[in-house]
Amino acid sequence: MPQRPDGAAARPQRVTFTKSSAERIAAVVRDYEAGDRGAEPLRFGTVATDARKTFRIATFSGAWSINSTKVVTFKYQTATPNTAVATNLVCGLSPASSCDVSIAKEGTAWFLVQPNLTQLPGYSDSGTQVLTIVSGSLRWIGTTAC
């Protein structure tokens, strides 16, 4: 039979509680039994943080050509750092002002996934338009211009 660290034989030992410990455990059991049966069970693990997110919404300003990097600012985040360097493998972008983009993380690198197309030059919410490439960047053009 295996031995305990003190050298005695390892046998099943009865668990004993102090009166205050037993009362504390009983109170938790009563709270649980009176609680929401549809609630998720207790889990003991790591808590997700913004650092673990792999898909984010960010914004940038100025031209961002294809196959180049840009410093983007995360939206909806107040923690520091709130910027990242992302690589554009999708399309050239030259918004008139700042532009919202979706970015995703692969390993330790961030990449452009999708720009907010309504923030690209020439966009109009009326009429029919086509998305074109002008001077290497996406741009909206009305169908009458075609």
Q: What's the pLDDT score for residue 71? A: 96
CA-CA distance, 93 to 9, in Å (whole number)?
74
| Stated pTM of the model | 0.57
- State the chain's mean pLDDT as an integer: 84
How many angstroms separate the Cα of 143 from the Cα of each of 37, 62, 117, 134? 58, 26, 17, 15
% pLDDT > 90, the chain: 29
Q: Is the pLDDT of residue 60 over 90?
A: yes
